[in-house]
Chain A
């Protein structure tokens, strides 16, 4: 089963994703993509670690190159999240942009081929309609295209609103 979860900031995506993962087969792998570069990101990572503490996830920290991940056993994978992964892959520390679409898609396919259940958390970055600088616009477009592609490939797509899943594709599990 492959499930894509989308929604804005703080709409309950992580909580719901973990709840779903708990219903699927073990082992449960959590792929953490957030790059720790300041106090705020450190706190965010810590908050998510606390949330997962009692849930027996095997955490794999990888902020780029998810295609290199090799899982020892088939089980359930929770990847969080596409917005960090895409930003990390796209922008190096000098601000250079790389075309990462194909790289990320093959990374997701590689993960999907190694597990029974894959849950991917993404974000709804294109919906404020705002005008940004060229590199941010490129980021919005890339993540948008990735979301479309994942939604096509996956069995279920849910949008989270106030912690409530709204079914956009498939059925509620």
Chain B
């Protein structure tokens, strides 16, 4: 599995397409048979408490794309705060298992693992 992270509009999806995937390979925040999962953070935000259960299914994906959501001022709103932390912790676990982790900055893929 390749984990692709980065800020909003940092070029994550374009990068994944450059690996040979097309729009029809990319599932938007839903688990199905498509090889690429996009917007993982949306799945975590819709159910932060249960997000750890996504782990096994995500490992079977070829590519997982997630926004980096942990930067900046810690939100006052508890739900938002917990969702941010849950996203971070899930990504830490995925990064450990991933064969490669790529972080997009200004459209530039920076390989941080593998």
Contacts and interface: CB of A to CB of B under 8 A. Distances in A.
Given A8-B71, A130-B72, A140-B73, A163 B85 contact: no
B107 interface: no
Contacts of B95: 162-164
Contacts of B81: 9
B112 A164 contact: yes
A128 B73 contact: yes
Interface string B17-50: 0000000000000000000000000000000000
Contacts of A125: 72-74
Interface in B35-78: 68-74, 78
Interface residues of B, number: 27
A124 interface: yes
Interface string A1-43: 0000001111110010000000000000000000000001000
B16 interface: no
A120 B36 CA distance: 37
Interface in A113-144: 123-130, 132, 136, 140
Interface of B: 3, 5, 68-74, 78, 81, 84-89, 91-92, 94-96, 101, 103, 110, 112-113
